[in-house]
Each structure stands twice: as structure tokens, then as C-alpha cells.
Structure 1
Amino acid sequence: MREPTTGGLGTVLTVLVLLCAAGAYLFAARRARRRNPSRGWNRWRVVSWTAGLALLAVALLPPLAPAAHTDFRGHMAQHMLIGMYAPLALVLAAPVTLLLRVLPPARARRVSAALHSLPALLMAHPAVALALSTGTLGALYFTPLYDTAVGHPAGHWLMDGHFLLSGCLFAYVIAGADPAPARPSVPVRLVYLGTAIAAHALIAQAVYGGFYVDVHAPIDQVQQGAEVMYYGGDIAELLLAAALVTTWRPQRRSPALPGHPKPAAVRLGPHHLQS
């Protein structure tokens, strides 16, 4: 593994992107409060978004970012922050709901239609999210893909981008605060989360034991990185499970009276969204 050749420029761009993301969210939250003072915008959402960006800053800026290029332990710590901890905080901030609140009605309807499109529904399926977030770890650590990615700055950024996007997708599908048109029931999501926990632990144990691992790094670094993956992943997945359980609101079904039809399902639009 070698040092990145664009470290200074990458640091500046990272800071600018994170600041823009923070500013855009704060501006949208303020606009949402002004549009409807009675509903406002939940301040804990703002805290969650800020915490997610702070975790990304820790992962993508020195001293951790340079270490992630040369030390497998640093890479794994970065992976945990970018792919598991930051996505949960960002998803709990409900950025899509906030976007729908502040957009003009016509644009909000287009965004809502995109969320209901077939590609979006397929991407938001738990099996797809699980394969992209956890399933790709096998391809990363048991093939030459990891060494290829960390050997080039662009490859490392692509790997980090994949960790972030796939982590956000899985957190959104399992316990997202934003509406999901075809989100399964809580018990079904718990099954997928349990599968992710088992697969993540199995991959970490295989990396620790050196079974079919294709990572060119000192053995002690690989084993300690696997420990970071195992224990850090457990904590992140417990936090995700806690976020999921807090959204569980069992529906009380009252028996339908003879001659009274069941109420029809209502499709919620952007103006129905809660913060």
C-alpha cells in the first residue's frame, strides 16, 4: 500500500463538501420552520445530521484518513465510521422528508414519484441493501480488490463512496426515518438485520483466521483490523436494532362490524409527512 498522492487537495475538498452538506441541511431546516412554525422541524434531526457529518469528518480527514491508506487497522476503523456509524446518524436525520418539506409542490411530487419508481423500489428491498452493504465485503477482502483499491487514490475514494452509499441504503431500509413505499414489517426487517449481523461476524472471523483472505498486510494488522470489524460492527448493528425497535408501533386491529367495509388505504403525499 502506498501514500495517497493528492492528500492535501483531498482534505480541502472533503472539508468543503462536509461544510456544504451541513449548511444545506441547516438552511432547509430553518426554511421548514419558517414555512410552518406550528410543525417546525425536530431539532434532534439536526443533531443527528451534524453527528453523522462529524463522524465522516473523523473518518475522511487526518490523522485517520492517511492511516487508512497504509494500515489495515486504520482502514477498518474508517470502514466502520463511513459504512455503519455515520449512515445511521444521517438516515435518522430524515433528509428526504426535509427536502420534501421545503421543495415547491410540483418538485416535491416529482421526488415522491421517483421514490415510488420501480428502480427505487428494487434498490430499497432489504435483500438488495444487504447484498450491497454486507455481501460486497466478501468480494473486497477475499479477492485482490482491496489491494487494487487502496493502491490508487481514486480507487480508495470509490471504495469509501461505496461504503457510505450502501451503508445509508441499508440503514434507511432497516430503520430509516424517511418514508419508504414498500418497507417490510418490523419482524421481517429484524430477520434481515440478524442475517447482516451473522454475515458480518462470519466475515470478520474469516479475516482474523486468514481463511481465503487476499489482503497484503502484516498478520498482526489484519487480525487487529478484524477485531475492529467484529466488535465495532456489533455495536453499530445494536444501535441500528435499537433505532428499528423504536419505530415499532404495533397496529391495533378492531374486528370489522357486519355490513361495514374496511377503510381504504390512503397514500401519503409530501404534505402528510411528519418530522
Structure 2
Amino acid sequence: MNHHDGTEVDVLAVVGAVVAVLAVLGYAALVVRARDRGRAWPVARSVVWVVGCLLAVAAVTGPLRHAAMTSWTAHMAGHVLLGMLAPLLLVLGAPVTLLLRALAAASGRRLVRLLRSRPLRVLTEPAVAALLDVGGLWLVYGTPLLGLAHVYPALEVLVHAHVLLAGYLFTAVLVGPDPLPHRRGTRHLLVVLVLALAAHDVLAKRLYALAGGPDLLDEQRGALVMYYGGDAVDLALAVLVCARWYRRTRPRGVGSGQRQLDLERPRTRPEGVLG
């Protein structure tokens, strides 16, 4: 667990709080700018973005952070919040779409070109995103990296930033409403999700099996939190993937109104293709 001296400044907590405040303020500024340009923004997306920021900061500051310094169970609760649940809510906040609505036309075209760039095409390939997400967790929990992060605050910040960003990328590829260079079909996404879930579960079972010493029960409870918490979030992802497929393939006229039908009208090219 975390062995920082209690008299030292908790760098991770400070950085996490600052980033969360900036993320909320920046999002609010974009909402105002988009509305000034005559482009409305759903309140629900703003709410899930703020809640996602709150969950992310709760994982690295406050009571949970303090408990995680001595409890493996609390540490794993923070992992589920930071790496899985917070990314899901942040993705549903659709920050890229909001940015496109807030930008002027010329700036928006530059952003679109960036989104269509080759590096982002590679990063948004589902297998690559899954490898960065789950593979990163195997690196953290299967090597001495976590122990080193407890000693070096800068490394700890980088590890937690990777957990959050990799979780965001993987979630965005699966269910994100924001535009992507390309978006794979439902079957492809579900296969990648199932494989990622299996790798995550195997890691949790490995941690459970390796638990020992005076903290045996705490370590086992932590592994169970990782296992069942991860399954719950991944189940939500699977439901959202299938819901997207249903909305895109259902017959016209089935739904809750013409406006919703217009929003969900199938496109003539694959969903998520930019420009």
C-alpha cells in the first residue's frame, strides 16, 4: 500500500483536485460558448461529466485516498472508480462533440483533421485501446511498478493518469458518442470487450490467489472488489454497445418520437467516420 510519510504533501491528491476543477470549469466554459453560438447542449451530458470528475477526484483525494494508504480493499475501490466508472461517465459527457460545437469553423476543421490523423486511428483501434487499458493494469499489479509509485510521487501521478486516460480511451472506443476516425461493428466491439473482461478477471483472480500474510482478508476483499466491480462496469458497457446497435438498426417509426428518430437516423457511411 501507499507508504508516503504523512507529513509530506500528497502530490497525487493535489494534482487530482486541480485537474478536476480545471476539467469542470473548462467544460462549463465550452457549454457557455456553444450556447452563445446558438448551439444548445444537453444538461444530462453536463451532469454526467461533473459526476465523472467527482468520482475521479474521489479516487485520489479525501477519505478513500486516505484509506487506500493502508487498505487494499479501499485501493481497489479507487481503481474501479478511477479506471472504469469515472471514464464511462466522462465519455458520456461527449467533450469532443462539445468542443466542436464551441469552436469557430476554422478551428473546428483543424480539430477534425487531428481526429482523423494516423496516430489517433491506431489508438482508437479497439484491440489497441484494450491493450493499453488492461495491459497497463497487468503492468501495474504484476510488476514492482506499484511499489515504486508509492515511493516516487511523480511516478504515482503518471500511473494514475494512465489508468484514467486508458480507461477513457477504451470506453470511448466502445460506447463514446464523440466522433472517431473509424468505429468497428458491434460484433467486433463485443469480442474485444469480452476478451478485455476476461483479462481483467484473470488479473483479479491472480491477486486473490497471491494474497497472504497478516493482510490476507483485506487483500482478498480487494481482489473481489476488482473482480465484481469490473464485471459490473463491463456489463454496463456491453448493454450500451448493444443499445447503440439497436438504435442504428431498428426500423424507422419505432421509438419515442420523430425528433429522436431524426437524431438516430442511420447514416450512409459507418458511424463515427469524420468529415
Is the aligned partner of 1:6 residue 2:6? no
Match of 1:223 in 2: 220
Query: In structure 1, what is the equivalent of residue 52 of structure 2?
Result: 52
Residues 96-175 of structure 1 mapped to structure 2, 5 A cutoff: 96-175=96-175
Gaps of 5+ in 1: 254-262, 270-275
Q: Residues of 1 paired with 2:176 and 2:164: CA distance?
A: 15
The residue type paired with residue 31 of structure 1 is: R
> What RMSD in Å do the two structures reach over aligned CA positions?
2.4
Q: CA deviation at 1:17?
A: 2.4
Query: Residue 245 and residue 217 in structure 1: after superposition, are their counterparts in 2 closer, same or farther (change >3 A)?
Result: farther
Q: Which runs of 5+ in 2 are unaligned?
A: 252-266
> Residue 259 of structure 1 aligns with which residue?
none
Deviation for aligned residue 1:164: 0.3
TM-score w.r.t. structure 2 length? 0.84
| Number of aligned positions between the proteins | 254
| 1:159 CA drift (Å) | 1.2
- 1: CA distance, partners of 2:198 / 2:14: 38
CA 102–132 in structure 1, closer or farther in 2 if over 3 Å, else same = same
State the Cα distance separating 1:265 from its structure 2 match.
4.9
Residue aligning to 2:29? 27
Q: For the Cα contact (< 8 Å) 1:3–1:70, is it kept in 2?
A: no
Map of 2:82 onto structure 1: 82
Q: Tell me how far apart the structure 2 counterparts of residues 120 and 193 of structure 1 sit (CA, whole Å).
A: 20
Q: Distance in 2 between the 1:191 and 1:217 partners?
A: 39
More helix by share: 2
Q: What SS does the corresponding residue of 2:62 show, helix, strand or coil?
A: coil
Cα offset for 1:218? 2.8
C-alpha distance 166-265 of structure 1, shift in aligned 2 (>3 A): closer
Asked if structure 1 preserves the Cα contact closer than 8 Å seen for 2:56 and 2:81, the reply is yes
In the TM superposition, residue 42 of structure 1 has moved relative to its aligned partner by 1.3
> SS state of the match for residue 41, structure 1?
coil
Shift of 1:143: 1.7
Instruction: Give the drift of 1:70.
Output: 3.2
Change (3 A) 1:75 1:216: farther
Q: Structure 1 CA distance, aligned partners of 2:30 and 2:231?
A: 34
Distance in 1 (alpha carbons) for counterparts of 2:153 and 2:146: 12
The 1-side partners of 2:126 and 2:102 are apart by: 29
1:243 to partner: Cα distance: 2.2
Q: Deviations over 1:219-272 (max 9, x none)?
A: 22221110110011011111222222222234489xxxxxxxxx9759654xxx
Which amino acid is the alignment partner of residue 227 of structure 1? L
Partner of 1:178: 178
